[in-house]
Every structure is written in structure tokens, then in C-alpha cells.
A and B are shown apart, each in its own frame.
Chain A
Amino acid sequence: MRKGYMYRIIFVAIVVLSAAWFTVTKPVKLGLDLKGGVYVLLEAKPEEGQRLDNEAMGRLIEVLNRRVNGLGVSESSVQKVGDKRVMVELPGITDTEQAIDMIGKTALMEFKIQNADGTLGETLLTGGALKSAAVSYDNLGRPQISFEMTLDGATKFAEITRNNIGKQLAITMDGVIQTAPRINSEIAGGQGVITGNYTAEEAKNTASLLNAGALPVKAEILETRSVGATLGDESIAQSETAGIIAIGLIAVFMVVFYRLPGLVANLALVCFGLITFATLNFFDATLTLPGIAGIILSVGMAVDANVIIFERIKEELRFGNTVMASIEAGFKKAFSTIMDSNITTLIITTILFTLGTGPVKGFAVTLTIGVLASMFTAITITKVLLRGFTMLFKIDKPSLFGVRGK
């Protein structure tokens, strides 16, 4: 038994130390509500007859990514949400107007034949057919725009160019003609160039417009949220204060009410904090304001597991059992209660995570991690510490456990 106990001490020490190392070396990633930034939720709106498959969504995300990269934000993210939605997050952005403008541009690019009288024919292709556009230079060093079509687009493009040699192919953005190069020859293979009297600047702008505007499907902005950095800083400061005060009050209560075990519970609480933050770090979770509330709440629940155990130990002591036997029995009897009560909480957090959106998800993640960490600390760390103290100081007085002597 002694040997098994040694192993357990070593195991706990390794867990706590690595958690501490993890927490110290890598800062927790903060959500937009804490550090400020812009959040945009878009929904793809396919036109009649247009299919909204994975490929179209993939292309939409690609285009949005390109637009976002154009803003030069580090740590930006573009993520698919559900079947037809895309979430864009731009941390630290101050010019929200520009960001929303850039991302939200619903421009739909269309290829149409321009008739001699300037009127436009029917839509032959949409921006979905365009893979990418870039500035290149011809033999004489004049800027031009080279482009590449998708596999599907290339076939259609070859057909269109073959049938319309000599005519002008207009590229429109939301109905406005951006450029209307003359078709000089059939363009097979999906690669071509648009020449014209472009300045380098114009060529660059048109290319990026083609890139940015090449939405394969219309996307509508459903939701935008932007948080200024000031508000974020305030939120962090306030939740830090709240956290410290909450933990301080709980710590005092535990020592007053449970004496030695209370002290042990407080040490376990520190370990709980380290493990929770390390786990958040490990999974690269983002800490949001509701997330912080989730952590503070799980502190309350972490204490609960200890309270259940200590109450059991006190009961055993009142029966007149020895301290060591009471500790063993207390942990054993408390185990199923802790499991049952925490599993129901985990059921709820799982639902919150599955069905919830942004902030609710954040709360669910931290509460889940908090509940799991609290179970681990209460069952393993509290036990190791409590047995350790009891053995080390040869404790045999029930009064140290908050039990009044008979």
C-alpha cells in the first residue's frame, strides 16, 4: 500500500507541475469580447437552381479568407458554422467599418457578352467559375491580369470564348461593369490574360477585386458584433477582481468550517486552477467572458466535491472511527455521489456545446473542463494530500476535521 501511495504522489506531482508549466509558458487565447475585435456571421444564399454543396461552401470560405488576409489581421479566423454559415473573427481590429465593408461585400461577379450598343447579354458564368486572378506582365513589361478558372469553369469558358471571338466579354460586379476585354481567341484550359492599358495600380486593384469578388454564391451578413479594446480591458480587469474575491471568500470559508481538510481543499483548488488553465491551453480553447463565468462557477462546484467528501469523513469520525479509516471510507462513499451529480452537469454542458453558438459554446467548454478537473482534483489530489498530511503529522484528533469532540 505504501508503494502504491508513493506512485500516486509522483503521479499527482507530475500532473500539477506540467499543468503549471503549461499555464506559465503559454498565455490563454482571449476571445473577441475580451480583447476587442470584429465578429461577422454570414449565410450563403444560393440563387434559384444553384446548388449549395460542400464545394461551393469551400470556395466561399476560401474567398472570405482571401478578403480577410487582405485586411492584414493576425490570428483572424474564418470558420464554417453548420451547413451554410461562415463565421469570421478579426481580433484586435479597430476600423470595424472597413472590416465589415470588406468582408460583407456581397458582390456577385458575372461574365456577360457586351453587345456593340453597350447592352449586356445574359449571364454566362458567375464568379464561382474563377479560381484566382493575379497581376502579370506581358513581353513588353506592360501589366496585365492573368486568371485561372476552376475545372468546371474552364470548360464553359472555352465554349463561351470559342463562340464569341471578336466580341467583348464584360465582367460585372453587382451589375456594374468592371472590365470588358475583347475575346481574341478561344481560351481553353481555363487560363487566360486580360490585357488593356492598365497601370500597375489599376491591374492590381482589378485583380484583387476579381479575387475578392469571386463569391461562388451570394452571402448575406446575418450578424455582426464589434467590441472596442477598452471594453475588453475593463471586462478582463473586472473578471479578475471577481475571480480573486470569489476564490478568497471560498478559501476562508473552507478553512473556518473544515480546518485541516479545508486547507487541503484550498491547495487542491490551486491545483484545480492550474489544471483547468493548462487544459484550456492544451486544446487551444478561447477564453470568453461567459467562459470566465464558467470557470468561476466550476470553482464553486469544485469545492462541492470536497464538501461532499469532507462531510462523509466527518460522519465516519462521529461514529468513532480512526482518522485514517474515516478518510478512506469518506472518499469511497462520496465517489458515486460525485459521479452522479457531475455527470448530470456534463450532460447539460454537452447540450450547450452542441446546440450553442459562440459565447454559449465558450461557457460550455470551460464548465466542462472545470467539472472534469474538479472531479480529478477532488478524488485524486485531495486524497493524496489529506492522507499525506495525516500520515506525516500523525494526526488523530477529529477536531482538526471540524468535528467537535464528544
Chain B
Amino acid sequence: MKIKIIENRKKFFTFSTILVVLALSALVFKGVNYGLDFTGGNLIQVKFEKTMELKELNPILNEISKEIPQLDNNSRKVQVSDDNVVIVRTPEMSEDVKNNFMKTLEEKAGKYDLLRSDKVGASVGEELKSTAIIALLVGLILIVGYITIRFEFKFALAAVLALFHDVIIAVGGIALLGYEVNTPFIAAVLTILGYSINDTIVVFDRIREVLKKKKVSTLGEAVDLSVNQTLTRSINTSFTTFLAVLAILIFGGASLKVFITTLLIGVLIGTYSSIFLASPVIYLLDKDEKLSDIGHN
């Protein structure tokens, strides 16, 4: 098997462009479904002793909302899973109001076991957004710095382009799925950053080596040769990581679903971009110089 990256680069660029446009439109038209950590509010998760259905629960909540306006149909989100586990999200409630709600719920809907109760202030959510953006920017700057030192700026540029590509597609994918995102989502996006760059660098490393040894006469050939030499490794690594991520997705429980799905998209798209996007971009950036200076270091 021999993949001709440079020859087919336009196809890959087109494919990536389509994906990015799709992801961006998902972000613009559908938007990210921000969860409690970002918006602030209350969340309670209870496990009823009996099976509970939305049809049964909603009128009860409507009833309670006469006393507690936060439970109004427009401001609450209710979710039923596993037949008897119910998650209710509301705008911020004080401790007293929440306790009152919990008591009334037990009276009207039946006995339950409190699994989780979270409350996040709105200011904390705002902070989280700005921290996430700072983290992303600082991460990018440091990575550009590191790659520029170890390789050269063109490589850093190509890697960062691939990174943006991966992150946009992953975030857009989650927006499209409509999953609710919380703090772990930020961790997942930053991990994609790490993973994607990890994958890209293995290919770059080979390009640098091929260039140094002057095995080929043009950069295009160097890119093709390097990608093909590292292809088995790229696929095997992605496959093993994919296995790990898939196992958590299937058996790891609901609380990790968004986190892991984000990683899953990231691993797949990160593998693709390191092979089919980052490498031909280097070729584009360096087209006229035939061979990068890196061979002379």
C-alpha cells in the first residue's frame, strides 16, 4: 500500500474544508449546548424507587413551580434515563428553595435516592469560559514555540493549522450531536490538542530525518515517503487509543459520555489530519524552496 499524499492533496484539502464548514455551521446555527458549569444553576439527579416517565413527572413539576418559579416549564430541563433516574436542571436556587423542592418532590412523586446535587454560580460559569479560551491560546503558543525550536516555524504553522482543524471539527461535532458540555469537555478539547500534535510530530520527525539523510530530491517526495513509512504506526496507535476510548464510551458510564465522545472524534480526526493535512501543508508552505533548510542543520 502506498498513499500518494502530494499528488492528491487537493482532494484532502477539499474534504477538510467541507468538514470544517459543516462544523462551523453547526456551531453558528445550532450552537454549543452549554451545561451547568458554564451557565450556572442547579442540577439534581435522583433515582426513584419506581419507574418514572416524563409524562408523569412534568405535571408534578408544573404543580411545584407555582411555589418555585425556577421549576417553570420554560426554565427547567428534565431528563429520564434507566427508567428511574431523573435529572432536573434549573436556574440557580437557594439552598432553602432547593430543599423545599426536594421535599415536595418526594411527597408528590414518590421516594427516591439522591444521587447528585450540584449548584454553580453564574459568575463561575463565565470564568470557566474565559479560562478555557486562555488555556487554549496558551497551549497553542507554547506548542508553536516548541515545534519552532525542535523543527522550524513552517512545521509549527502546519501543525497549528491541523490543530484548529481538529478542534473545530470536534467541537462542531459535539454541537451537532447536541450534547451538553461541562468542565470535562474543556479537558477533552485540550487533550485533542495534545493527541493531534503528538500524531503530527511523529510524521514531521520522519520528514526531518528523510530530509537530513537526503534520501530524496524534493520535499514532495520526502513527505510522501515519510507518511508512508509512518503509516502503520499512525494506524496502530490510533487503533489502540481508539480501543481504549471506545471501551470507556461503552462501559464507562453516562457521566463520561460527552468527554469521551469528544476524544473519540478528536482521535479519528487527529489521525486523519496528521497524515493528510499537516504534511501537504508543509509542502505548500515550502514549495518554492524545494528542500527545507532543515536538512542542513
Binding site for B on A (CB under 8 A): 33, 41, 96-97, 100-101, 104, 220-228, 230-231, 234-235, 238-239, 241-243, 245-246, 249-250, 253-254, 257, 289-290, 293, 296-297, 299-301, 303-304, 307-308, 311, 315, 333, 336-337, 340-345, 347-349, 351-352, 355-360, 363-364, 367
A231-B45, A250-B243, A293-B259 known; A242-B250 Cβ under 8 A: yes
Partner of A222, one of B123, B190, B202: B123
Binds A, one of B24-32, B111-119, B214-222: B111-119
CA distance A225 to B36 in the complex (A): 11
The total of Cβ contacts below 8 Å across the A-B interface reads: 206
CA distance A300 to B194 in the complex (A): 13
Partner of A223, one of B119, B201, B244: B119
CA distance A290 to B182 in the complex (A): 12
Tell me if A342 and B115 are in contact (CB < 8 A): no
Interface set, chain B 81-106, CB cutoff 8 A to A = 95, 99
Tell me if B240 and A348 are in contact (CB < 8 A): no
What's the nearest-Cβ distance from chain A to residue B260, in Å? 7
What's the nearest-Cβ distance from chain B to residue A91, in Å? 15
The 6 residue pairs across chains A and B that have the minimum distance between CB atoms? A300-B241, A246-B247, A348-B194, A238-B253, A345-B194, A242-B251
- The interface residues of chain A, by DSSP majority, are classed as helix
A293-B256, A344-B197 known; A253-B243 Cβ under 8 A: yes
Asked if B58 lies at the interface with its beta carbon under 8 angstroms from chain A, I say no
Tell me if A367 and B184 are in contact (CB < 8 A): no
The size bracket of the interface on B is 35 or more
CA distance A130 to B47 in the complex (A): 45
Tell me if B245 and A300 are in contact (CB < 8 A): yes
Binds A, one of B48-56, B60-68, B173-181, B229-237: B229-237
Excluding A242-B251, A348-B197, A358-B183, 10 further A-B contacts by CB distance (< 8 Å) are A226-B118, A238-B253, A242-B247, A242-B252, A290-B187, A293-B260, A307-B233, A337-B205, A356-B186, A359-B187
Tell me if A308 and B233 are in contact (CB < 8 A): yes
- Which of chain A's residues have a CB closer than 8 A to the CB of B211? none
Partner of B251, one of A101, A228, A245, A357: A245
Tell me if A351 and B252 are in contact (CB < 8 A): no
| Chain B 195-210: CB-based contact to A (< 8 A → 1; otherwise 0) | 1011101100110010
CA distance A221 to B96 in the complex (A): 13
Tell me if B237 and A222 are in contact (CB < 8 A): no
CA distance A219 to B282 in the complex (A): 54
- Which of chain A's residues have a CB closer than 8 A to the CB of B242? 300
Which one of A97, A221, A300 has the highest number of Cβ atoms from chain B below 10 Å of its Cβ?
A300
A257-B236, A307-B236 known; A296-B247 Cβ under 8 A: yes
- Which of chain B's residues have a CB closer than 8 A to the CB of A301? 198, 241
Which one of B134, B186, B233 has the highest number of Cβ atoms from chain A below 10 Å of its Cβ?
B233
- Which of chain B's residues have a CB closer than 8 A to the CB of A246? 243-244, 246-248
- The interface residues of chain B, by DSSP majority, are classed as helix
Q: Which residue of B lies closest to A296 (CB)?
A: B244
Tell me if A311 and B232 are in contact (CB < 8 A): yes
Binds A, one of B2-10, B13-21, B142-150, B289-297: B142-150
What's the nearest-Cβ distance from chain A to residue B99, in Å? 6
What's the nearest-Cβ distance from chain A to residue B138, in Å? 5
Q: Which residue of A lies closest to B44 (CB)?
A: A226
Can you show 25 pairs from A to B with CB atoms below 8 A apart? Answer: A96-B117, A222-B123, A226-B114, A231-B116, A238-B251, A239-B248, A242-B252, A242-B253, A245-B250, A249-B243, A289-B256, A290-B184, A290-B187, A293-B256, A299-B244, A307-B233, A333-B209, A341-B197, A342-B198, A345-B197, A348-B194, A355-B135, A359-B183, A360-B183, A363-B191
- Which of chain B's residues have a CB closer than 8 A to the CB of A243? 247
CA distance A254 to B241 in the complex (A): 12
What's the nearest-Cβ distance from chain B to residue A369, in Å? 15
Tell me if A341 and B187 are in contact (CB < 8 A): no
- Which of chain A's residues have a CB closer than 8 A to the CB of B239? 253
Binding site for A on B (CB under 8 A): 45, 47, 95, 99, 113-121, 123-124, 128, 131, 134-135, 138-139, 142-143, 146-147, 150, 183-184, 186-187, 190-191, 193-195, 197-199, 201-202, 205-206, 209, 229-230, 232-233, 236-237, 239-248, 250-253, 255-256, 259-260, 263
CA distance A303 to B243 in the complex (A): 11
A104-B95, A297-B191 known; A307-B247 Cβ under 8 A: no
What's the nearest-Cβ distance from chain A to residue B180, in Å? 15
Tell me if A227 and B116 are in contact (CB < 8 A): yes
CA distance A351 to B233 in the complex (A): 28
Tell me if B205 and A351 are in contact (CB < 8 A): no
Q: Which residue of A lies closest to B248 (CB)?
A: A242
CA distance A260 to B253 in the complex (A): 35
A253-B240, A297-B245 known; A351-B139 Cβ under 8 A: yes
CA distance A246 to B230 in the complex (A): 24
Which one of A228, A336, A358 has the highest number of Cβ atoms from chain B below 10 Å of its Cβ?
A228
- Which of chain B's residues have a CB closer than 8 A to the CB of A249? 243, 247
- Which of chain A's residues have a CB closer than 8 A to the CB of B183? 356-360
CA distance A239 to B190 in the complex (A): 22
What's the nearest-Cβ distance from chain B to residue A378, in Å? 12
Tell me if B244 and A344 are in contact (CB < 8 A): no
What's the nearest-Cβ distance from chain B to residue A356, in Å? 7
What's the nearest-Cβ distance from chain A to residue B37, in Å? 9
Tell me if A307 and B116 are in contact (CB < 8 A): no
Partner of A311, one of B123, B233, B255: B233
Tell me if A231 and B190 are in contact (CB < 8 A): no
- Which of chain B's residues have a CB closer than 8 A to the CB of A234? 253
- Which of chain A's residues have a CB closer than 8 A to the CB of B199? 341
A340-B150, A356-B135 known; A224-B119 Cβ under 8 A: yes
Partner of A352, one of B99, B135, B143, B250: B135
CA distance A224 to B124 in the complex (A): 11
CA distance A349 to B243 in the complex (A): 22
CA distance A343 to B99 in the complex (A): 48
